[in-house]
């Protein structure tokens, strides 16, 4: 009986900690609801393209291997040097939050921070993946099958 209880509790813990991986259209709907379509001149397709190449739509994406020693967190790969604090290195913390907040399934705070990033002088160019894969390209395929 005791082992069943332990297995059940561990299963619940594991389920809570699983990453949410959005579908392209699911993310597009969420972003549209949060006012991202046209935000700071960026199309909804541009945001979806960026998220695909930054995290493959995974809320728990983590990159701890940047050349400058910084790390990137969450669906938009928000960097701990500029946008959040992780407790291990100094940060400008432009979004005023801890980096761990960007690794949960609730992406509202990620979206609010992404809005802050795009208002910075670099705009969408703050995301290398956007520059390399999305900028100046036909992005219509990112929303083509979505019923928005």
- From first to last of the 148 residues of the chain, give the pLDDT tens digit: 444 333 333 333 444 456 899 999 999 999 999 999 999 999 999 999 999 999 999 999 999 989 999 999 999 999 999 999 998 888 999 999 999 999 999 999 999 999 999 999 999 999 999 999 999 999 999 999 999 9
Buried b (16+ CB within 10 A) or exposed e, 116-127: ebbeeeeebebb
* Catalytic site residue from 18, 26, 54, 67: 54
- Residue 2 maps to a domain: no
Q: Starting at the edge strand that comes first in sequence, how are the strands of the sheet with 62-63 ordered?
A: 62-63, 72-73, 78-79
Q: Is there a domain that residue 125 lies in?
A: yes
pTM attached to this predicted model = 0.86
- Is residue 104, in this structure, part of any structural domain at all? yes
Q: Is residue 11 part of a domain?
A: no
Dihedral of CA 38/41/45/49: which sign?
negative
Q: In whole angstroms, how far apart are CA 123 and each of 44, 114, 130, 136, 147?
A: 15, 10, 10, 14, 28
Residue 115 placed within a domain: yes
**Does residue 14 belong to any structural domain of this protein?**
no
**112 within a domain of the structure (yes/no):** yes
Quote the CA–CA distance of 23 and 94 in Å, as a whole number. Answer: 28
CATH number for the domain including 67?
1.10.530.10
* Full residue range of the structural domain in which residue 90 is found: 19-142
* Domain count within the chain: 1
Catalytic residue list contains 18: no
Residue 72 maps to a domain: yes
Does the annotation count 26 as an active-site position? Answer: no
**Structure-block tokens of residue 92:** 């400008």
Instruction: Kindly name the residue from 18, 37, 72, 108 that is annotated as catalytic.
Output: 72
């Amino acid at each position: 009986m005791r082992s069943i209880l332990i297995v059940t509790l561990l299963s619940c813990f594991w389920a809570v900690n699983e990453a949410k991986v959005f579908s392209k259209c699911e993310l597009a709907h969420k972003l549209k609801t949060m006012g991202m379509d046209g935000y700071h001149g960026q199309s909804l397709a541009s945001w979806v393209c960026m998220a695909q190449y930054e995290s493959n739509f995974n809320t728990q994406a983590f990159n701890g291997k940047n050349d400058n020693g910084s790390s990137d967190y969450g669906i938009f790969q928000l960097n701990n040097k500029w946008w959040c604090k992780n407790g291990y290195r100094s940060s400008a913390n432009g979004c005023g939050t801890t980096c761990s907040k960007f690794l949960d399934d609730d992406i509202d705070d990620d979206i609010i921070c992404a809005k802050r990033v795009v208002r910075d002088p670099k705009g969408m160019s703050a995301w290398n993946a956007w520059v390399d894969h999305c900028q100046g390209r036909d992005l219509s395929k990112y929303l083509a099958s979505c019923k928005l």
